[in-house]
């Protein structure tokens, strides 16, 4: 049974750099381009008997933004931590994210080590 970390961001640069930062933490990693893409991929992962351990999601994305994604995700998964990726110009998004059920956040741009530190607050 695999344990997955979801990386959800419309920017491939961000997705790749997030994956680069956390790839050695012992989890399988799945990228998604937006909320809709993420929800579909999560469904597939779970249907194969695997588990989602953490989601790292951007806020501002086409099709389905991060806030909506968290709300949808929380309908079926109450407890998995969700870290939102945000920028300093959108700190009101942090509150919206928390209301939707986000666990923590990291502000872009970040150093790989910063991201790892945040992830470690939720996964050990």
Partner 1 sequence: MIIEEEIFGIKHVRKFYGNLKEEYKSGIELIIDFKSVKRVDLSIVQVLTAVVRMARKDGRVVKFKSLSEDVKNQMILCGLKI
Partner 2 sequence: MGDNEIRQAFLTEAKEIIENLESDIVQLEENAGDREIINRIFRYFHTLKGSSGIAGFTEVYEFSHKIENLLDAVRGGKIEVTDSLIDLILDSMDWIRDSIFTEGEGDAAMNERKSILLGKVGEFKKPDASVEKPLKSEDAAKARAAAHEKEDAANKYKYYRVRASFIEKIFEFGIDPLMVMEDLASHGPIIKNIVDKQNLPEFEGIDPEKCYLSWDIIIKSKSALNQINDVFIFVKDENKITVEDVTSQYMSEEKLHAPVYEKKLGEIMLESGIISENELDEAIALQNVEGKRFGDIIVNKGFASEEEVEHAIKEQAILKKKVENTTVRVDTVRLDNILNLLGEIVIGQSSLSRIAHEMENDYGTQLKNIIYGLDRTTREFQEQIMSIRMIPIGPTFNQFRRFVRDIAHSLHKEMKFVLEGEETELDKTVIERIDDPLKHMIRNSIDHGIEQPEERVKAGKDPAGTITLKAYHQEGNVFIEVNDDGKGIDEERVREKAISMNLIKPDEEASREKLLSFLFMPGFSTAKKVGDLSGRGVGMDVVKTNIESLRGSVEIRSEKGRGSSVKIKLPLTLAIIDGMLTKTGNNTYIIPLLSVMETIRPAREDIKTIEGKGEVVSYRGEYLSLIRLYEIFNIKPRYENPWEALVVIVESGRTKVGLLIDDMIGQQQIVIKSLDNYITQSRAVSGASILGDGKVALIIDIFGLMEDVVSA
Q: How many CB atoms lie within 10 A of CB 94?
A: 16
Q: Are 59 and 84 in contact (CB under 8 A)?
A: yes
Contact of residue 72 among partner 1, partner 2, none (CB under 5-8 Å per partner type)? none
Q: Is 124 one of the binding residues for partner 1 (CB under 8 A)?
A: yes
Q: Are 45 and 4 in contact (CB under 8 A)?
A: yes
Smallest gap from Cβ 40 to partner 2, in A, equals 21
For the CA atoms of 18, 87, 124, 45, what is the dihedral angle to 10 degrees?
Answer: -60
Contact of residue 71 among partner 1, partner 2, none (CB under 5-8 Å per partner type)? none
Which residues of the shown chain bind partner 2 in the complex (CB under 8 A)? 10-17, 19-20, 23, 58, 60, 62, 74, 78-82, 85, 87-89, 98, 101-105, 107-110, 121-122, 124
């Amino acid at each position: 049974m695999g344990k997955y970390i979801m990386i959800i961001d419309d920017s491939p640069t961000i997705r790749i750099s997030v994956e680069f930062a956390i790839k050695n933490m012992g989890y399988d990693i799945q990228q998604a381009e937006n909320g809709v893409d993420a929800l579909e991929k999560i469904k597939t992962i779970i249907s194969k008997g695997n588990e989602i351990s953490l989601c790292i999601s951007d806020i501002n994305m086409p099709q389905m933004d991060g806030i909506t994604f968290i709300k949808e995700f929380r309908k079926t998964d109450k407890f998995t931590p969700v870290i939102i990726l945000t920028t300093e110009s959108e700190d009101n998004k942090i509150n919206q994210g928390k209301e939707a059920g986000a666990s923590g956040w990291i502000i872009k741009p970040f150093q790989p080590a910063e991201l790892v530190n945040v992830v470690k607050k939720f996964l050990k």
